A and B are shown apart, each in its own frame.
Chain A
Amino acid sequence: MTSVVEAPVELRPRTETLLELKGLAVEYGRVRAVDGVDLEIRAGEIVGLAGESGCGKSTVANAVMQILRPPARIAGGSILFQGEELTGKAAEELRRYRWRNVSMVFQSAMNALNPVMRVGDQFVDMMRAHERVSKRKAIADAGELLELVGIDARRVRAYPHELSGGMRQRVIIAMALALRPELVILDEPTTALDVVVQREILQQIQELQRKLEFAVLFITHDLSLLLEVAHRIEIMYAGEIVETAPAEKFATAARHPYSRGLLQSFPPLTGPKARLTGIPGAPPDLRDPPSGCRFHPRCPQCDPGNAALYLRQTTERPRLLEIAPGHHVACHLVEEEAR
C-alpha cells in the first residue's frame, strides 16, 4: 500500500545508466591506487568525486578515459559504458570512444594547447582525428563552440598566448564538447585559476550542461565547490569510495567521519564563526595502507575503549551500506548504529 506513496520522485530528466564501474582496481606496480570502486553515472547527471591528493580520484578518471599508461594497469573490475565493457577493447575502438563518447578536461589543460598553432586549427586537428569532416566545416564549428563558452568566434585565429589563462581553459572545455560526448570528465578544471574566473567557468559549465544535457564527472579536492555544482557526491579516501549521497543531503547529513572532517575543513564565508578541527594526521601511504578501515588511524570515532568495535575497525574492511535512498556509507560505526 505504502509503496505507491513512496514511489521515488525523479528529479532528473533521464535515468539510464551511462557509466558503471564495478569493483574497479588500478595498480601502479605494487601500489593499489584504486581498490574496488563502484560508481554509477546516469545520463545528464553531475557527479562530484572528491578526495585529497593521492586518494585515487584522478586515476579513476584516467581509467574511465582509458588513458592509463604503464606502470598503471587495471587489476580488476569492469568499466561499462552504455552497457559495453571497455576493459580489453582494441586500441582503435577506444580511440573512437574517446572524445566522441567521453571527453576530459585536465587541471592545467590550458597549458596543453600548442603554442605555435592557431586555436581554430587545433580544433580542426582534433575533430578530423575523430570524424570525417571538412576543414571549413570544422573551423565553422570551432567558432560556434567558442561562442558557446563565451569567447568571440573570431578568436579561432588567435594563438594561445593571446588568450588569458581563463580563456584558454574555456577553449579546452569547448574542445571537450566539440563532438557532443555523453560524458565529460572535469579533473580539477578550475584549480589553477583565480576565484572570479573559477566562478565564471563553473557557471558556464552548468549552463552548457543544462543546454546540452551531457553527464559530468567532476573531480576536485574542493568540497565547497562541489556542494554547489554536483547532483551527487562521492567521497574517496585511500583508493576507496567511503560515502556517496545526493549533494543537498551530503551537506547536512554526511555520516562518514572522513566526510564530516572534510566538511569541517572549509571555513564558511558567512554565518557564525567557530574554531574548526580539520582532520588530524595525514592521508596514508598506499604502499602500505592501514589494515581494516583505512581511515581508522585518523578517525575520531575509533576508540580502543570500545573493544569489539575497535577490533572490527582495525581488522575488517567496511562495506558500502545503503542507509537512506541513494545514501551509502562504508563505516563500521554507522553500520552498528543502523542495526
Chain B
Amino acid sequence: MSAVAPLEVRNLEKRFPIGGALHHAHVHAVDDVSFVLQPGRITALVGESGSGKTTVARLLARLYDPTAGTVLFEGEDASGLRRRHEILNYRSQVQMIFQDPFGSLNPVKTVRHHLERPLRIHRIVPSGEIRRRVHELLEIVGLVPPEEVAAKYPHELSGGQRQRVAIARVLAVEPKVILADEPTSMLDVSIRIGILNLMLKLKEEHDIAFLYVTHDLASARYIADDLLVMYAGQVVESGPAERVLAEPLHPYTRLLIDAAPDPAALAGKRIEPRKGLAAAAVDPPDACRFLARCPLAVAACSASTPALVEARPGQAARCHVTAPAPSIT
C-alpha cells in the first residue's frame, strides 16, 4: 500500500440553481469528479471556460460546499468540516493561488506584512524567527535581495513579482497541497515560464501536491505529470499528461489539441467547423455531453452518459466509442 494521498476527491458534485423560484433548473457545474493528488506531482485540470475546472479548485479550497461527494484530506473526510479551527487547519494545508496577482495583495501593506501574517496566525515559527523565515521564503520564490523586496509595496512590483509574492505567502504555511487557478494567464508572456518553472521547483524540492487549473494545454504538458480534461462538468479523460496528449482517447481532448496554437507545427493545423454548440450542463439528459459536437457519435451516445473507463493502462475516458465499458461487449 502506498502512503495516504494528501488530497483525494470522490464523486464530487456541485450544482448551482439558476432561474427564478419557479424554475427549478440546476447547472451541473461539477458532476461525478474523482481524482487523487499525490505529493511531488502536478496534476493539470484543463478545459474551456464554463467546463467547471475553477469550481473544482474552489470546492477543494472549501470556498464552496459540495452538493455531494467526498473530499479526503490525508484519508480523512474533510467535506463535513464545520468548526472554524478545523476549516482553518484545512485551509492552511490546502492553499490556493489565484489568477489575479493584482487583486490578491493589499495595496497599502508591504511584502513583509503579507508574509508575516500567515506565519503569525498559524504559528509556523517562533516570533524571533519570523524575519529570517520571510527572507527565506522570498529567496525560495526567486525574489532577491530579500531585505529589499520585503520592504516594497505591491505597486512597486511587476505582475510576475506579485505572483511570486502570492506564492511565497502560500508557502509560508507549509501546505501539503497547492491549488493554482490559471496562475500565469494575467502575466506577460516572457515571465510566465518563470512561474511555471517555480512550480516545478516547488513540487520537486518541497514535495507539494499541485492542482494546476488552466486552459493552456502546452503549459499543462510542460509542467504536469497527470492530466484531467473537463468538459461540461465532467472529467472526460484522465491519465499521464504525455500519454494523453500524444494519444488522446476522447474526441474532445483531440479537438483541444488540434485547436491549440503550436509553434512547432507551423501552419497547417485545422479543425472542423463545429456541428453543435457547447452543451450547457443545465439539467443534462442521460447522454454524452459532447454528443452535439462529436465527430464519432453513435446511437449509444444519446442513450446513456458514458462512464469513465480505463481503456489503456492508467488512461481513462468517458466515451462509448473509444473507451467502451467492458460489459457492453
CB atoms of A199 and B269 under 8 A apart: yes
Contact of A227 among B159, B245, B266 (CB under 8 A): B266
CB atoms of A278 and B190 under 8 A apart: yes
CB atoms of A282 and B261 under 8 A apart: no
Give the total of A residues in contact with B, Cβ under 8 Å: 40
CB atoms of A262 and B273 under 8 A apart: no
Which A residue's beta carbon lies closest to that of B158? A282
B residues 123-143 touching A (CB-CB < 8 Å) = none
CB atoms of B219 and A196 under 8 A apart: no
Q: A277-B193, A278-B191 are in contact. Are A268 and B262 (CB under 8 A)?
A: yes
Which A residue's beta carbon lies closest to that of B186? A53
**Can you list, as one digit per residue, whether each of B218-261 has a CB less than 8 Å from chain A (1) or not (0)?**
11011000000000000000000010010000000001111111
* A236 → chain B closest CB, angstroms: 13
Which residues of the other chain, A, contact B266 by a CB distance below 8 angstroms?
Answer: 227-228, 248, 251
Which residues of the other chain, B, contact A283 by a CB distance below 8 angstroms?
Answer: 158, 188, 190
Contact of B49 among A150, A194, A203, A228 (CB under 8 A): A194
* A53 → chain B closest CB, angstroms: 6
CB atoms of B193 and A52 under 8 A apart: no
Q: A194-B48, A282-B188 are in contact. Are A269 and B160 (CB under 8 A)?
A: no
Give the total of B residues in contact with A, Cβ under 8 Å: 43
Q: Identify whether the interface residues of A are mostly helix, strand, loop, or mixed.
A: loop
> Of A10-18, A110-118, A217-225, which stretch is located at the interface?
A217-225
Which residues of the other chain, A, contact B48 by a CB distance below 8 angstroms?
Answer: 194-196
CB atoms of B188 and A221 under 8 A apart: yes
Assess whether B23 is interfacial by the CB under 8 Å rule: no
Which residues of the other chain, A, contact B159 by a CB distance below 8 angstroms?
Answer: 282
**Can you list, as one digit per residue, whether each of A167-203 has a CB less than 8 Å from chain B (1) or not (0)?**
0000000000000000000000000001110111001
CB atoms of A227 and B189 under 8 A apart: no
CB atoms of B190 and A265 under 8 A apart: yes
Which B residue's beta carbon lies closest to that of A283? B188
A150 CA / B197 CA spacing, docked (Å): 41
CB atoms of B190 and A263 under 8 A apart: no
CB atoms of B258 and A199 under 8 A apart: yes
CB atoms of B273 and A53 under 8 A apart: no
**Can you list, as one digit per residue, whether each of A263-304 has a CB less than 8 Å from chain B (1) or not (0)?**
111111111010111111011000000000000000000000
Assess whether B299 is interfacial by the CB under 8 Å rule: no
Q: A262-B190, A278-B190 are in contact. Are A270 and B262 (CB under 8 A)?
A: yes
Which residues of the other chain, A, contact B49 by a CB distance below 8 angstroms?
Answer: 194
CB atoms of B263 and A279 under 8 A apart: no
Which residues of the other chain, A, contact B270 by a CB distance below 8 angstroms?
Answer: 203
Assess whether A261 is interfacial by the CB under 8 Å rule: yes
Which B residue's beta carbon lies closest to that of A264? B193
The contact sample of 19 A-B pairs, CB cut-off 8 A, is: A195-B48, A196-B259, A200-B273, A223-B189, A225-B261, A248-B266, A262-B189, A262-B190, A266-B218, A267-B218, A268-B221, A268-B263, A271-B264, A273-B242, A276-B193, A282-B159, A282-B160, A282-B191, A283-B190
| Cβ-closest 6 pairs across A and B | A278-B193, A282-B158, A267-B222, A199-B259, A279-B190, A194-B48
Task: Given contacts A203-B273, A268-B263, list 12 more A-B pairs with CB under 8 A.
Answer: A195-B259, A196-B255, A203-B271, A222-B261, A228-B266, A265-B190, A267-B219, A268-B264, A269-B217, A276-B222, A282-B158, A282-B161
